[in-house]
Structure 1
């Protein structure tokens, strides 16, 4: 049994052991912090007092095929405010707002904007007049913490020219930031939003500069520890020809204006002609030489952020959506320009020969429906070439009906040819938001009906649908680029290219990457198929009975022969869409020109004159004013 005198000794012993253990733990922790963990905490301490601040790099330029500048950078005078040095902020902002002609609240909101680094002066105004900059510098005591400087901003020396193709830049949004954070993007950075600016963002952006700053515990900058200059982005040289692009845009605008003045005899009003597109390709390698869309917009409006009222106007249906690039996003029934596809399908599969003749009496009965030529015209006996020249609907109605009647032998022959020539799928052009189009068939008809029975009330496919398809009507829709690329394939003898908009990437004027033509696939177009069709397309332009003859009167066919096809597509509750596709020289094609104008009537009257003016310029002639022409289809 333990005595009473031993109990205090035991307690003191236990207390000593506990105290020794606590001191041992404390000394071990101190040893860990001072010896083992010292390097780690040193790095953290350094991080607490060092800040890295990015300086945007000037973007690379965008050039045309001949080196002419399409997009550049310009110097903008800015006024910025250093919050750490801003004494009496209310009085300074009042004076600054008065000088700059801006609301004081706008300046204050800029200073509170979290996108800007707290360690650098915050820009509160861009494109400041030189007089205001000089005043701030001369009266610096009235503007403590206010500095004037210069920054590089995107510049578009040709105004709205090629706006849809070139695209625009804007401030990175949350989604883009999440996608590109690994590339060093930060809030407030600019990024390509559309067109070439978006697709070639990595090449154009450049490498941001870095300032390494030492700050105190309150975040005030003490000194600059290092600086790395920004490196300007690479230049991107396009396949576009600036002069031909201007010719295409001017010609399209004139064509729209001419259509506005023309009278629609069916609807008893002037044509609306709200919009249109032009595509010019080089069929030898798929290069895009011009790409025009109207209405258009000014990409410079997006520099430093577009004004909300202007952006709303660009979205207003009454303005016909100027941001939409109709050359690659517009989807239209191709009308009689699709007869090229039906002709190839019929010859390839042996449904007809070039000599097959059909008597065109102006209409064709299929079941209980009567299908008529435009205007009810009758062309008499026509073979394939002549049917293309005069655009005999009856001839191609007959082919569509025959394909359906013999579908067990030929399948969906017209649709198969359309797919071979690139319809119903994206062309692969290096531009964002390209539409896919649609080549309807019995399966697609059923799917459309199942998805939207109100818009597509009938889920079955009938002979009349095949008849309509043969002349480019019904649910068939194509983009102007798809149509141009298909004709380019025919023109070059069967090579389907992915249209190319850029040739190379340049650094300091020297190529660092070549962008070669891309062959998607090839289709068979033997002379027995190609020659009679070519004969018909040449006749459509140069022949006295050709549908485009009126638009090309006086053109120098002898030295610059042209082949082409007019088209007019009916649209529910709207005026007809006018189309025309041409390639030249017909015997050795170097250019394909496609024109599509919404609600403008016959392609021969509205679209062909636009193409004529463009081809005049290509042939070295002085382009004349676009006027409405004669012709049906």
Structure 2
């Protein structure tokens, strides 16, 4: 006795054949998709797992003193070496790792060096910042093939890095070191220049160690603050010629103007004296503009400043460049 009829067997046979055909059609279409349509994608994905790109850091250029001595160089492992330490910190500056806002961005001052990538270091202050494009080199790259376990197989290609350029400045190595030693435990700043205005020494105190900036970040003495370019100070006696010129130009006084020096001037609760009165208890007596300039008599210039008025003093100070930046290459 048969369990199925010939008609039923025929239908079941065709059904199984149809399923088999559909399976093969699906398999062929899937292979077509993987091999043809998405073949390039998967080949690149495979290469990405097989080929590794290794960045080769470029040595940063050195900062040299006027005599050729190295002020800022590099250790063998590529880390920055600040030779004078805190003695050249504010002038030399320091490096910091590129942040999120810098990664992938191109410095418009040196577009040819490409975008910053993670792990790059950027000049954060001083000459490191000002000449970052010059000091910064162009990194190289090595392409290597690895096996399925990630082990090195062979080198496929290599682009050598290009070192940054050295920057030679006017700082005198010995003088810079000596100035820093003299300013130990003092607060303030010193600039030493030659007759041409070239800066031979530049030091702000207290200072910090650029080889280890982190430890100075929370120091209440603010060692990272550059008192030379960031502080505001009274100009002192160099402002006296400005006041004198302004008073003469505005006809507030003439060359024959005389003033009876009292040695001291009181403004509300404050008293201001001449150096002559402070040291010797004496006054200059009747004094004119030439002698007042020669003797640096404060009370004379206080008086003609009062006659001139604050607005005119500011106007003439601006004309003499007191509101302008000096152009020093320290940001």
When the two structures are superposed, what TM-score results if normalisation uses the length of structure 1? Answer: 0.42
For 2:15, the equivalent position in structure 1 comes to: none
For 2:65, the equivalent position in structure 1 comes to: 64
Deviates more, 1:235-244 or 1:33-42: 33-42
Inter-CA distance 153–427: structure 2 relative to 1 (3 Å threshold): same
For 2:312, the equivalent position in structure 1 comes to: 413
For 2:297, the equivalent position in structure 1 comes to: 392
SS in 2 for 1:162: helix
Query: Hey, what's the Cα distance between the residues in 1 that align with 2:68 and 2:249?
Result: 43
2:216 counterpart of 1:311: yes
For 1:321, the equivalent position in structure 2 comes to: 222
For 1:564, the equivalent position in structure 2 comes to: none
Per the TM alignment, residue 31 of structure 1 is displaced from its structure 2 partner at its CA by 5.5
2:260 counterpart of 1:359: yes
Query: Hey, what's the Cα distance between the residues in 2 that align with 1:195 and 1:370?
Result: 39
Inter-CA distance 345–28: structure 2 relative to 1 (3 Å threshold): farther
- Indicate which of 370, 373, 390 corresponds to 2:273: 373
- Indicate which of 241, 256, 268 corresponds to 2:172: 241
Pairing 1:8-47 to 2, within 5 Å after superposition = 34-35=35-36, 38-39=39-40, 41-47=42-48
- Indicate which of 114, 130, 138 corresponds to 1:199: 130
Inter-CA distance 370–174: structure 2 relative to 1 (3 Å threshold): closer
5+ long unaligned stretches in structure 2: 1-17, 108-112
SS in 1 for 2:230: coil
2:54 counterpart of 1:53: yes
Per the TM alignment, residue 395 of structure 1 is displaced from its structure 2 partner at its CA by 0.9
Pairing 1:399-478 to 2, within 5 Å after superposition = 399-404=304-309, 412-432=311-331
The Cα RMSD (Å) is 3.5
5+ long unaligned stretches in structure 1: 1-15, 76-150, 257-273, 433-633
Larger Rg: 2
- Indicate which of 279, 287, 309 corresponds to 2:191: 279
Indicate if the aligned counterparts of 1:373 and 1:392 stay in contact, CA closer than 8 A.
Answer: no
2:119 counterpart of 1:188: yes
For 2:79, the equivalent position in structure 1 comes to: 153
SS in 1 for 2:167: strand
Indicate if the aligned counterparts of 1:371 and 1:394 stay in contact, CA closer than 8 A.
Answer: no
Per the TM alignment, residue 337 of structure 1 is displaced from its structure 2 partner at its CA by 3.8
Query: Hey, what's the Cα distance between the residues in 2 that align with 1:31 and 1:350?
Result: 96
For 1:300, the equivalent position in structure 2 comes to: 211
SS in 1 for 2:134: helix
SS in 2 for 1:214: strand
- Indicate which of 94, 102, 111 corresponds to 1:168: 94
Inter-CA distance 403–226: structure 2 relative to 1 (3 Å threshold): same
Inter-CA distance 172–281: structure 2 relative to 1 (3 Å threshold): same
Query: Hey, what's the Cα distance between the residues in 2 that align with 1:244 and 1:39?
Result: 64
SS in 1 for 2:118: coil
Per the TM alignment, residue 278 of structure 1 is displaced from its structure 2 partner at its CA by 1.0
Pairing 1:497-576 to 2, within 5 Å after superposition = none
Inter-CA distance 329–233: structure 2 relative to 1 (3 Å threshold): same
Query: Hey, what's the Cα distance between the residues in 1 that align with 2:128 and 2:272?
Result: 48
Per the TM alignment, residue 52 of structure 1 is displaced from its structure 2 partner at its CA by 1.0
Per the TM alignment, residue 229 of structure 1 is displaced from its structure 2 partner at its CA by 2.5
Inter-CA distance 63–353: structure 2 relative to 1 (3 Å threshold): farther
Query: Hey, what's the Cα distance between the residues in 2 that align with 1:370 and 1:363?
Result: 10
Deviation per CA, 1:47-102: give whole Å up to 9, x if none: 34222111212211111223222112232xxxxxxxxxxxxxxxxxxxxxxxxxxx
Per the TM alignment, residue 235 of structure 1 is displaced from its structure 2 partner at its CA by 0.3
Indicate if the aligned counterparts of 2:206 and 2:223 stay in contact, CA closer than 8 A.
Answer: yes
Query: Hey, what's the Cα distance between the residues in 1 that align with 2:269 and 2:307?
Result: 16
Indicate if the aligned counterparts of 2:105 and 2:115 stay in contact, CA closer than 8 A.
Answer: no
Query: Hey, what's the Cα distance between the residues in 2 that align with 1:329 and 1:430?
Result: 14
For 1:342, the equivalent position in structure 2 comes to: 243
Query: Hey, what's the Cα distance between the residues in 2 that align with 1:384 and 1:291?
Result: 35
Query: Hey, what's the Cα distance between the residues in 1 that align with 2:199 and 2:143?
Result: 45
**Total equivalences in the alignment:** 301
For 1:443, the equivalent position in structure 2 comes to: none
Per the TM alignment, residue 219 of structure 1 is displaced from its structure 2 partner at its CA by 4.4
Indicate if the aligned counterparts of 1:248 and 1:292 stay in contact, CA closer than 8 A.
Answer: yes
Pairing 1:50-129 to 2, within 5 Å after superposition = 50-75=51-76
Deviation per CA, 1:271-315: give whole Å up to 9, x if none: xxx40211123564x53222112222332335xxx5xxx335xx3
Per the TM alignment, residue 32 of structure 1 is displaced from its structure 2 partner at its CA by 6.7
